[in-house]
Amino acid sequence: MLSYQHAYHAGGPADLHKHIALAELLTLLTRKKRPITYMETHAGRGLYDLSAPESSKTGEAAEGIGQITLPECPFTAALQSIRAKHGETAYPGSPAIAQALLRPDDKIHLMELHPAEFRALKHNIKNAATHNRDGYEGILALAPPKPRKGLVLVDPSYEVKSEYLQVAAFTRKLMAKWPEATVLVWYPVLKAGRHTEMLDALKLPFLKDEVSFDLKDNKGMTGSGLALVNAPYGSEAVFTRTRELGAPVLR
Ligand SMILES: C[S@@+](CC[C@H](N)C(=O)[O-])C[C@H]1O[C@@H](n2cnc3c(N)ncnc32)[C@H](O)[C@@H]1O
């Protein structure tokens, strides 16, 4: 099902949680000179305009990035570099954050299935391999990549209930093919608690960070979660820092 469009949610509290943590984690993983591979199963269009009708319609960006003034940090660096190029209402998707923070020798592979989102992604994100294919199948086909040290962001829309277990099965298969990979899974924390089934089915050690927030039109979502499989040394500090930076939107 491809009815989900991230433009309605870009810059909202859930994006802040995911994007601040992603920027911190990429910085941690690139501390050493060795190049890394960064991959995304669900890339979206990479770049959003918070003055667009989609953004005004939900008001989520106003409830997220609109509520905080960020100090100097990796996410701020990515945001500023995007705004310098595209204007003050631009907001970076996860591919643009990676592109802003990674180095010339690092490799980026982005999967996006929706044809229009894919066209926009290809246009917005240069110097990355973009793939118009199913993210689960595509990443498994490329794994293990070179360089073998790397991060995979798994960020589906969870439009269908079965996606929770699909994410768990995908992560297990990926770790079997590419044991050096670090995998960051984003999930919504819903009143229905569907994410717990996914976390149980992972059957792998992981570090978890869940935050809560208030959205005027929350559709049952009370917070956002990140599960980090094969967490590198220093990952606890990534989540502590994310909460500090995201306060008071993220609690
Ligand atoms: C939550 S959005 C991604 C947001 C992006 N990661 C970010 O943080 O900026 C999910 C995206 O996955 C795409 N999508 C849905 N099913 C997919 C699939 N099976 N494979 C790849 N992309 C898919 C949707 O079109 C949508 O653009």
Residues with pLDDT less than 70, the chain: 1
| pTM score above 0.85 | yes
Report domain extents, the chain: 6-246
> Is the distance from CB of 131 to CB of 114 less than 8 angstroms?
no
Distance 45 CA to ligand 1 centre (A): 9
> Is the distance from CB of 171 to CB of 228 less than 8 angstroms?
no
164-171 contacts at long range (C-beta below 8 A, 24 or more positions apart): 164/194, 164/195, 164/197, 164/198, 164/201, 165/197, 165/198, 165/201, 166/136, 167/198, 168/198, 168/199, 168/201, 168/202, 168/203, 169/201, 170/41, 170/136, 170/139, 170/140, 171/202, 171/204, 171/229
Asked whether 227 lines ligand 1 (CB < 6 A), one says no
* Probe target for ligand 1 pocket from 39, 112, 163, with the most ligand atoms within 8 Å of CB: 112
Asked whether 231 lines ligand 1 (CB < 6 A), one says no
Asked whether 185 lines ligand 1 (CB < 6 A), one says no
Tokens read off for 171? 């992560």
Per-residue pLDDT, 219: 82
Distance 33 CA to ligand 1 centre (A): 30
Per-residue pLDDT, 1: 62
DSSP single-letter state for residue 129: E
**Catalytic residue positions, numbered:** 155
Asked whether 4 lines ligand 1 (CB < 6 A), one says yes
Per-residue pLDDT, 14: 97
Nearest CA to ligand 1 atom 13: 42
Per-residue pLDDT, 191: 87
Tokens read off for 225? 């979660």
Per-residue pLDDT, 220: 85
CA 179 to chain centroid, in Å, comes to: 21
CA 202 to chain centroid, in Å, comes to: 19
CATH number of the 6-246 domain: 3.40.50.150
44 Cα nearest atom in ligand 1: 27
Per-residue pLDDT, 218: 81
Asked whether 121 lines ligand 1 (CB < 6 A), one says no
